[in-house]
Amino acid sequence: MLLTIFNSTMPKKSYETIETEDDDTNQPSHPMQSANFLSLLTFWWMNSTLKKGSKRPLNQSDLLPLHEKDRTRDLTERLQKEWNTNVQDCNSTQGKQPKLWKSVLRTMSCKDILYLLSFYFIESVCRVLQPLVLGLLLRLLSSTAMDRSLTYACCSLLLLGGLSTASRHYSAFRLELLGMRLSSAVKGIVYLKVRASVSFLRAGSHWRKNLFVLQTICHHIGFASATYL
């Protein structure tokens, strides 16, 4: 009875359909594509969206467009191509089985890996230099004959702490973004494989039950892939 009253008082509003890239081909490019080094490091390219969100609730038109490297279709096609190449190489060699993790690693570009390693290297260098510079600054302040120019230089080098923090946050962001891209590609492959196997189950005696199960799996996999984007 309580559930009936609750359901009757709830406003019956459905979710608004989000337009895809096929619905609007004149979408602007993602701000990350034109952002400079400082803008990427400080996430300055997000300021316009954050300012709008601080004043009012964000609408669909306020959201940033999808990055060209984050399209699930392109990621899935690239992983499928690498998987087919891996399968062909294993078929030509007896006793060798294809490995999905090898295909996943091949989908990652060397530029993304070098990008992550460079920022982790910057963070490590800043972490090592910061206590050394601080120790030198304390020694200069405690000495009788203080070199002002060297002292000011050490005070300026203490800003390495901020650079280390910014590098750590940006490298974590890039690593999580890379993980979501790989996750979307793998889920897209599984989604396609499950959908392709539906036609084979129609010949079985319990094809209706199996078809319902597979369609449910496809729905959840597709929803999870879209959640990351």
Taking the domains of the chain in order of start, what are their residue ranges? 71-183
pLDDT at 78 over 80: yes
Q: What's the pLDDT band for 217 if we cut at 50, 70, 90?
A: low
pLDDT band at 6 (very low <50, low <70, confident <90, very high): very low
pLDDT band at 160 (very low <50, low <70, confident <90, very high): confident
Best-predicted range by mean pLDDT (71-85, 91-105, 191-205): 71-85
Share of the chain above pLDDT 70, in %: 73
Q: Measured between alpha carbons, how far is 103 from 81 in angstroms, rounded to an integer?
A: 9
> Which residue in this structure is represented by tokens 């009757």?
8
User: For 58-80, what is the mean pLDDT?
Assistant: 86
Which residues have C-beta within 8 Å of that of residue 14, sequence separation ≥ 6? Answer: none
Q: What pLDDT, on a 0 to 100 scale, did the predictor assign at position 153?
A: 81
Burial class of residue 76 (count of CB atoms within 10 Å of its CB; 0-12, 13-18, 19+):
buried
DSSP, collapsed to helix, strand or coil, labels residue 111 as: helix
Q: Is pLDDT above 50 for 1?
A: no
Report d(CA 110, CA 138) in Å as an integer: 42
Statement: residue 108 has pLDDT above 60: yes
Greatest distance between any 2 Cα atoms in the chain: 94
Output the pTM of the full model: 0.67
Stretch 67-91: mean pLDDT:
87
Instruction: Decide if pLDDT at 9 tops 60.
Output: no
Q: What is the pLDDT confidence band of residue 190, given thresholds at 50, 70 and 90?
A: confident
Mean pLDDT over the full length of the chain: 75
